[in-house]
Amino acid sequence: MSKQMLIGLGMTGAFGANQRAWLDPSLDVKTHPDFDADIRAAQLAEQGKFQFLFLGDFPATVPQDNSVVGGMALEPIVASALIAQATSRIGIAATVATSWSIPYTLARQFKTLDVMSGGRMAWNAVTGANPQIAQAFGVMLGDSPSRYEKAYEFTEMVQNLWSSWGETALKTDKSAQIFADYNQVKTIAQKGKHLQSVGALPIPPSKQGQPVIFHSGGSPNNIAYAGRYANVMIGEVWTIEQGQAIRNGLASVCH
Ligand SMILES: Cc1cc2nc3c(=O)[nH]c(=O)nc-3n(C[C@H](O)[C@H](O)[C@H](O)COP(=O)(O)O)c2cc1C
């Protein structure tokens, strides 16, 4: 079987994932916060045949050693909208954490981005493990099992909302004066331990149907979540052996 390597560009912080990359003498510090520089990077990745951009999110300033730059990227949903407009083929995976977000808002934003980008959007669904960031949103972070329990509920709600509109529900038939076939628009009614929603998104299907789901991490909970919901997993891998362990773990839990 022939295998194809898929390459993505990580846009996970002000100057990249390496927190001390900004100290490199050749790096122009004016590229943050300069969104034109991010757009140029996205366009170069697209020209270079990268499959996707990965926008991480650690949405609060957490005081630390002065010489490291952790997180500090601009807000990924807003960034994705502008990147979508400035590119035409590359996939865009934006991170939003389930611990401090609202499923209906997230489903609506990602579906909008998926329509706007012509079906190139992915949600990097993480729980968000930093209690200081949670506090910034006014949320107390639960222990690991409850974080993931909520993430399961959250993801299912989002997927259900994304399928609100049937494939041919949008009619826009002027002569019959029929905008939509509402028999094909499902209202969800979901009440779980952590979340509830009764409603349907007001957004017709995108070209790819639903945004793709990414997940990232390396813990047993990450692998279990990815096996259940993710189309793509980015592992936490420093050695070949760790990579193999994550791949084997994933293969054993894939549904
Ligand atoms: C490549 C990679 C990217 C990640 N990106 C984010 C991110 O943008 N935001 C975030 O809150 N967590 C991110 N994480 C953290 C994981 O989702 C996860 O919370 C972490 O590995 C700890 O595992 P746990 O949640 O099971 O405790 C990332 C992890 C990896 C390996």
Nearest CA to ligand 1 atom 25: 129
Long-range contact set of residues 111-114: C-beta below 8 Å, sequence gap at least 24: 111/161, 111/162, 111/201, 111/203, 111/206, 111/210, 111/211, 112/203, 113/77, 113/80, 113/81, 113/84, 113/211, 114/206, 114/207, 114/208, 114/210, 114/211
Query: Residue type at 51?
Result: Q
pLDDT computed for residue 129 by the predictor: 96
Please tell me the distance between residue 54's alpha carbon and the centre of ligand 1 in angstroms.
13
Does pLDDT of 5 surpass 70? yes
Does pLDDT of 231 surpass 70? yes
pLDDT computed for residue 255 by the predictor: 62
pLDDT tens per residue across span 68-109: 998 888 999 999 999 999 999 999 999 999 999 999 999 999
Q: Are strands 232-235 and 212-217 parallel, antiparallel or unpaired?
A: parallel
Atom of ligand 1 nearest to the CA of 55: 8
Nearest CA to ligand 1 atom 15: 217
Q: From the CB of 56, is ligand 1 less than 6 Å away?
A: yes
pLDDT computed for residue 187 by the predictor: 98
Does pLDDT of 156 surpass 80? yes
Q: From the CB of 18, is ligand 1 less than 6 Å away?
A: no
Query: Residue type at 103?
Result: P
The CATH fold assigned to 8-161+208-253 is TIM Barrel (3.20.20)
For residues 7-35, give the mean pLDDT: 93
Atom of ligand 1 nearest to the CA of 129: 19
Distance CA 104, CA 230 (A): 19
Please tell me the distance between residue 207's alpha carbon and the centre of ligand 1 in angstroms.
29
Q: From the CB of 197, is ligand 1 less than 6 Å away?
A: no
Q: From the CB of 222, is ligand 1 less than 6 Å away?
A: yes
DSSP state of 105: H
Atom of ligand 1 nearest to the CA of 71: 8
pLDDT computed for residue 1 by the predictor: 65
Lowest average pLDDT, out of 28-32, 64-68, 133-137, goes to 64-68
Better pLDDT: 254 or 135:
135
pLDDT computed for residue 70 by the predictor: 83
pLDDT tens per residue across span 184-211: 999 999 999 999 999 999 999 999 999 9
Does pLDDT of 3 surpass 90? no
Give strand ranges (E) for the chain: 8-11, 52-55, 91-97, 121-126, 170-173, 178-180, 188-191, 196-199, 212-217, 232-235
% residues pLDDT > 90 (the chain): 91
- DSSP state string for 218-243: -SHHHHHHHHHH-SEEEE--SSHHHH
Atom of ligand 1 nearest to the CA of 219: 26
For residues 154-167, give the mean pLDDT: 97
Q: From the CB of 217, is ligand 1 less than 6 Å away?
A: yes
Does pLDDT of 14 surpass 80? yes
Q: Name the pLDDT band for 16 (thresholds 50, 70, 90).
A: confident
pLDDT computed for residue 21 by the predictor: 92
Distance CA 132, CA 194 (A): 21
For residues 54-58, give the mean pLDDT: 96
For residues 159-188, give the mean pLDDT: 97
Please tell me the distance between residue 100's alpha carbon and the centre of ligand 1 in angstroms.
14
For residues 31-37, give the mean pLDDT: 95
pLDDT tens per residue across span 116-133: 999 999 999 999 999 999
Atom of ligand 1 nearest to the CA of 56: 8
pLDDT computed for residue 34 by the predictor: 95
Q: From the CB of 98, is ligand 1 less than 6 Å away?
A: no
Nearest CA to ligand 1 atom 4: 216
Of 196, 187, 211, 229, nearest in space to 112 by CA = 211
Q: From the CB of 234, is ligand 1 less than 6 Å away?
A: yes
Atom of ligand 1 nearest to the CA of 236: 31
